[in-house]
Amino acid sequence: MRPTRLITRLLPAFLLLTLLALGAALLYSERAVREFHTNQTATELEAELQLLEDIVRGQLTNPNLQALVVDYGRRTGSRYTLIAPDGRVLADSEERPEKMENHATRPEIVLARAEHLPARATRFSVTRLETFLYTAVPLTEQGHLRVFLRAARPIKGLYASLRGLELHMLGAAVLIFALAGLASYGLARRIVRPLEALRATAEKYAAGDLTHRPPLSDIEEVAALAESMKTMARQLDERIRLLSQERAESEAVLASMIEGVIAVDNNEGVIRLNRAAAKLLGMTSEHALGRDLREVVRNPMLQEFVLQTLASAMPVEKDLWLYTPDERNVAVYGTALQSTGGQRIGALVVLNDVTRLRRLENVQREFVANVSHELKTPITAIKGFVETLLGGNEHRPEDIRRFLEIVRRHTERLDSIIEDLLSLSRIEQEERGKLECAVADLHDIVTSAIQLCRARSSSKDIAIENHCAQPMPARVNARLIEQAVVNLLDNAVKFSAPGRLVSVEGRREDGWWILSVRDQGCGISAEHLPRLFERFYRVDKARSRQSGGTGLGLAIVKHIVTAHGGEVGVESTLGQGSCFTIRLPA
């Protein structure tokens, strides 16, 4: 049903009611006036009949009866008829009685005869062809009904005199109707106006202005409605405030999470995506919100995972790779997203960047494998020679000595591997706690390191020169830095031909102390340089082992230097020599 305005409903109803009331009043009063006039006329007719009764009493047998009646009729203007009890017309003031039919059945005569009282009737006269008011009175002599006297007057004349009055009443009714119409309009406006004001208030609320107050009204129902709206607005305001606070809190929680969180609806539309997830996926959350996940994340593995989560009733998890653009290893957990009513409304996916963790796990795995491999070689050799010695065969003393010599070499090797591993783990531990540092002169540390390598360098006739600036004060753990320099010098001597020169330079550069160990050795080809500082990485495994290398020396150097907040570097040309640098904060 199409709604209509209240005023267009109220006004016609008011007007119709007024019209009905006026019409009823008009009809009623017109009838009352007519009845009053009819009664008045009937009373007049009865009075006239009283006089006629006096005239005709004792004259009923008089042959001039007709003339008497005609004469009386002429004087009053009414019509008179004398009717015998059997209905015969004895005389009539306007008609010849012998021409008139029997009147015994005329209603006024029937009534008067039955009641012995004056009776009246309004009826159309077939004689005169118009409506008349008749009044009949029975005339009795010595207790005997002798005749009915009847007077008649046309009703038309009677009603004509009422027309003017009726016109006046109609005029008054029109005036009253017009006034009632105006009053109704005013009343309807008085009802509608506060309702319109309430509507305006409700529209303001809908637009978000909950501080607006509805207008006051002196109509109780409207005032109650306004009060209810005010209360509703207050409660709504409070609830919205609470909701936004809760939202801000959950937003803050999501934003502060290290894990990426993505919430999607059942159609894979993104509902939420926190900062961490956006970063992992290489986008902004504003860009993703409300869009299809397949549109914003172009990673088939993640798309498939979301589909799997949406289809599964149980939580799912998987490790996958994201390329945005760096390669990231991400552990994803997916669960169903449920409304408070327990209905499934989508899926929640949590992304955990495990790149570092997996890399560490890999390093550890590789390390264990490498260590086992490194330890296996000397142990196999030792086992072999010991079994040979114990095998029961007779050996020459010089062979026994040679075997034992080999066993000793491998034992030393084992020892140096374990020593290196221990020192690596020591440095790691010190790193985890806090390095014990004190101000020391790097120049002195280099001097002492050169001293420690003297035996080996001299045996190869290699000179080590110290070209460090003096002094080079730095907050370092002197013991560890010395070990790092020793490792570098050791390598330089190890990989240089006899008679060559090794030099250590030390200088200051942009807030850093740079120590460079330069040799004129075999050099390293470029492809090995990036991995040189990894544990157990060796360019030439056989040669390194032969020279007693463990493949851990440079790893230890790197560890020590990074623990000090510094960096290591290498430059080398195959066949010409290498230069290893240590940068330490000055």
Shortest gap between Cβ of 369 and ligand ADP (angstroms)? 17
List the helix and strand counts (H, then E) for the chain: 15, 17
Adjacency order of strands within the sheet including 79-83? 89-92, 79-83, 144-154, 130-141, 119-125
Interface characters, 224-253, with ligand ADP (x: CB under 6 A): ------------------------------
Q: How many residues does the structure list for the chain?
A: 586
Choose between 30 and 540: whose C-beta lies nearer to ligand ADP: 540
Choose between 46 and 540: whose C-beta lies nearer to ligand ADP: 540
Cα Dmax for the chain: 205
Choose between 155 and 489: whose C-beta lies nearer to ligand ADP: 489
Between the alpha carbon of residue 69 and those of residues 101, 374, 380, the distances in Å are 18, 166, 173
Choose between 443 and 500: whose C-beta lies nearer to ligand ADP: 500
Tell me the β-bridge partners of 583.
514, 567
The correct pick among 93, 201, 274, 491 for binding ligand ADP (CB under 6 A) is 491
Spatial neighbors of 324 by CB under 8 A, at least 6 apart, are 280, 281, 282
Stretch that binds ligand ADP, among 79-87, 271-279, 503-511, 517-525 (CB under 6 A): 517-525
The residue assigned the tokens 């010991």 is: 386
Element (H, E) at 506: strand 501-509
Choose between 474 and 554: whose C-beta lies nearer to ligand ADP: 554
Q: Rounded distance, CA 131 to CA 282, Å?
A: 108
Choose between 522 and 560: whose C-beta lies nearer to ligand ADP: 522
Q: What share of the chain is helix, strand, coil (3-state, %, to 5)?
A: 55, 20, 25
Q: Rounded distance, CA 147 to CA 136, Å?
A: 10
Shortest gap between Cβ of 520 and ligand ADP (angstroms)? 10
Shortest gap between Cβ of 486 and ligand ADP (angstroms)? 11
How many residues touch ligand ADP under the rule CB under 6 A: the total is 21
Token reading at 427: 């440095």
Residues 85-114, interacting with ligand ADP (CB under 6 A): none
Can you spell out the DSSP letters for 425-461?
A: HHHHHHHHS----EEEEHHHHHHHHHHHHHHHHHHTT
Interface characters, 554-583, with ligand ADP (x: CB under 6 A): xx----------------------x-----
Determine, following the binding rule CB under 6 A, whether residue 378 of this chain makes contact with ligand ADP. Answer: no
Strand, coil or helix: what is 306? helix
Query: Residue 346 — left, alpha, or beta (φ > 0 → left; ψ -120 to 50 → alpha)?
Result: left
Choose between 264 and 502: whose C-beta lies nearer to ligand ADP: 502
- Give backbone dihedrals phi and psi of 391, rounded to 5 degrees, phi first: -65, -10
Determine, following the binding rule CB under 6 A, whether residue 194 of this chain makes contact with ligand ADP. Answer: no
Shortest gap between Cβ of 393 and ligand ADP (angstroms)? 36
Choose between 229 and 449: whose C-beta lies nearer to ligand ADP: 449
Determine, following the binding rule CB under 6 A, whether residue 520 of this chain makes contact with ligand ADP. Answer: no
Shortest gap between Cβ of 498 and ligand ADP (angstroms)? 15
Residues 114-133, interacting with ligand ADP (CB under 6 A): none
Shortest gap between Cβ of 480 and ligand ADP (angstroms)? 16
Closest to 67 in 3D by CA, of 44, 100, 90? 90
Shortest gap between Cβ of 581 and ligand ADP (angstroms)? 12
The correct pick among 49, 414, 532, 561 for binding ligand ADP (CB under 6 A) is 532
Choose between 445 and 555: whose C-beta lies nearer to ligand ADP: 555
Q: Compute the half-sphere exposure of residue 228: CA atoms within 13 Å on the CB side of its CA.
A: 7
327-338/344-353 β-pairing:
antiparallel
Residues 536-555, interacting with ligand ADP (CB under 6 A): 537-540, 544, 549-555
Determine, following the binding rule CB under 6 A, whether residue 259 of this chain makes contact with ligand ADP. Answer: no
Closest to 11 in 3D by CA, of 191, 181, 146? 181
Q: Are 52 and 92 in contact (CB under 8 A)?
A: no
The correct pick among 80, 148, 495, 513 for binding ligand ADP (CB under 6 A) is 495
Determine, following the binding rule CB under 6 A, whether residue 421 of this chain makes contact with ligand ADP. Answer: no
Determine, following the binding rule CB under 6 A, whether residue 502 of this chain makes contact with ligand ADP. Answer: no
Stretch that binds ligand ADP, among 169-177, 241-249, 454-462, 514-522 (CB under 6 A): 514-522
Stretch that binds ligand ADP, among 27-35, 53-61, 402-410, 532-540 (CB under 6 A): 532-540
Choose between 58 and 499: whose C-beta lies nearer to ligand ADP: 499
Token reading at 462: 């290699």
Determine, following the binding rule CB under 6 A, whether residue 522 of this chain makes contact with ligand ADP. Answer: yes
Closest to 514 in 3D by CA, of 467, 478, 577, 479? 467
Residue type, 554: L
Residues 131-170, interacting with ligand ADP (CB under 6 A): none
Q: At CA 359, angle to CA 355 and CA 362, rounded to 5?
A: 145
Stretch that binds ligand ADP, among 122-130, 228-236, 250-258, 534-542 (CB under 6 A): 534-542
Stretch that binds ligand ADP, among 148-156, 376-384, 428-436, 531-539 (CB under 6 A): 531-539
Residues interacting with ligand ADP, by CB under 6 A?
491-492, 495, 519, 521-522, 524, 532, 537-540, 544, 549-555, 578
